A and B are shown apart, each in its own frame.
Chain A
Amino acid sequence: MRGLLTNTFLTALVSGGLLAGVPLLFGSLGETISERAGILNIGLEGMMLMGAYAGFIGALYSDSPWVGLLAGIAAGAFTSLFMVVLCVRLGLDQIVIGIALTLLAEGITSVLHGAQFGVTYPRLGAVSLVTIPMLSRIPVLGHSLFSQPLVVYLGFAVVVLTHWTFRATNVGLNLRAAGEKPEALDAAGVSVTTTRSWAVLTTGALAGLGGGYISIVGAGIFVPFMTNGAGFISIVIAMLARGRPLWVIAGSLLFGMSLSVATALQLAGINIPTDAVHMLPFATVVLALVIFARQAYLPAALGVPYVRGAR
């Protein structure tokens, strides 16, 4: 156990945690927006997977990670369109549609990948890092924290932006009203349907970006089912963060670290079975739920389709 506090271990833990945590950050931020507006988006996993596939294809053919990430955003938003039409506009069951979207995304990405590449997995080039001059010199953690792809910094910026939007703008107020008391929003003359539609679209875009990050920045390849539950973990993070964007950062990094602890432990010379390690993030979630269940908070009108005049 002597190796646990060495630089290698801490660096691997922190940079690995960031690498695995950033897609969770995008995913759970998206889920936060949609949950606050009253839509429980169980299709997040599917949206992330579509983003991962489209992002990979985009980056592969354009040779640019940015085009890839944009393709991921587009694919995620496109997938969420189904949710907008079926759940927000028509009021269909959000859980059924969410499961359907996830199954469809898993099947379609696997089939498309198989039809195109068979069992080969082409690799993308590494993404260039942006190093922040002074801060990256901080011993131990400086380099792993402040030498990251640009999109990581963007991610944190988007969280702060969302926080500000919820706190200080009319848009944020409308979003929250759509989740807490949609009839009040309607009475104030703002369309609940439109507000929720934009929320779900934003969620899809962010989930797609998170998925794109997984395939383009994180792995550099696309493998079917590669999101491997990241979408579902994001949903839990969003629930535990109780709709507060800044807590989303903390949650994502924590879960990211529990995802990356395996590699870090191996670097420190401690071998534990990979299956045990893969259990860790999910076990953390369950443990967190058991401990903090009382405090998990969900908006009053979550999951309830809005029908004007219905009681």
Chain B
Amino acid sequence: MITKKRLLYVVIILGMVIFQKSFVPLFFSGSYLPDAVLMLVLTWTIIDGFEEFLWWAVFAGFLCDLFFYTQIGMHIIIFVFTVYFVSFFSRRFLVEISTNGIFLIFFFIIVVTFFSIIISFFALSLNSESWYEIAKYFSNPKDIFFELLFNGFFSLGLFFIIKKVRKFLSTQ
């Protein structure tokens, strides 16, 4: 049962990383690309909680850093923050697909998307002299708005998928 669960988690995370690298950039073809892996981590944390999902988030971050040719650690930090932040609030409030729950999920999406942008900005600035240009790129309100919008759609879709996965695992 545990092996089956682990295998399923590995397959879903790996699949989502490949989806983010090989499907999303060509399909959306713009500077506002949704972050499917970040949304997967966010949604899974709401459902699984901090203790259960922390090391999976580290694994997802490590895979992202490997596949996206970024500095090893960048995505891990983003995802670990996401897990902590989301679990901090979701422990206190009931997060479900209801009016209040959806508002709370959108609040999570906004905060973690901005955090992801900030960390990416700092990681890029470490290896570059032209930080002004990076800042200019990351501060486009239209791009940020669309990124948030697409992240919202992804998150809601993933919420239902992960619920199904949980249900499948609990019936096994």
A, B: real partners: no
